[in-house]
Chains A and B, each alone.
Chain A
């Protein structure tokens, strides 16, 4: 049974960057997609992008293009999401989630999810 454990909460200044990690254990890592989804207060979830670790190429939502970088380290079975040029609108809980699909352009469903990482952007 795959389990995803994320890094802890972060408080960041506007204009800075944040890097959130997602450690996978208990199952396959390299051949399934890992996506990042965020949820701002009072809003629905928002897909940011995803990666297939064994291929290493990420696919990003256009909204975040140029500002987000998703990478995966097969040796440590850990995925990372780096978001730059933070503003208060980036205050949200960030989740990683596994998709059984081996093709990021053909998603299926997310199971399991990480526990979430609260990122607060405040001056």
Chain B
């Protein structure tokens, strides 16, 4: 199975800050990497697919980059609604696997 390692596991930031979350795959996954936002009690929401494509309806302050084994999710100019958990997920091969998540909290 492909292991997905996210860092940091938690992050404190202020409204208006820019933050970056990283995700590392245990083997090359090309650009088969997706990012989700998850708020408690709600359905996870797709933000970025195929490493860098912004899902329709997702704000343009979210961006993704990377290929191979190293990927990043950047949120520029944090808004109050961005404080949530974020997960990466590989779709290169079965079983589909996710990172352990990054909890973004208000400083």
Interface residues of A (CB under 8 A from B): 4, 35, 37, 43-47, 59, 61-63, 95, 97, 104-105, 107-116
Contact = CB atoms under 8 A, between A and B. Distances in A.
Interface string B79-94: 0000000010101001
B97 A47 contact: yes
Interface of B: 34, 36, 41-46, 49-50, 55, 87, 89, 91, 94-101
A45 B43 contact: no
Contacts of A44: 87, 98-101
B98 A45 contact: yes
Given A37-B98, A47-B96, 12 more contacts: A44-B100, A45-B98, A46-B98, A59-B94, A61-B94, A62-B95, A95-B44, A110-B44, A111-B49, A113-B43, A113-B45, A116-B43
B87 A45 contact: yes
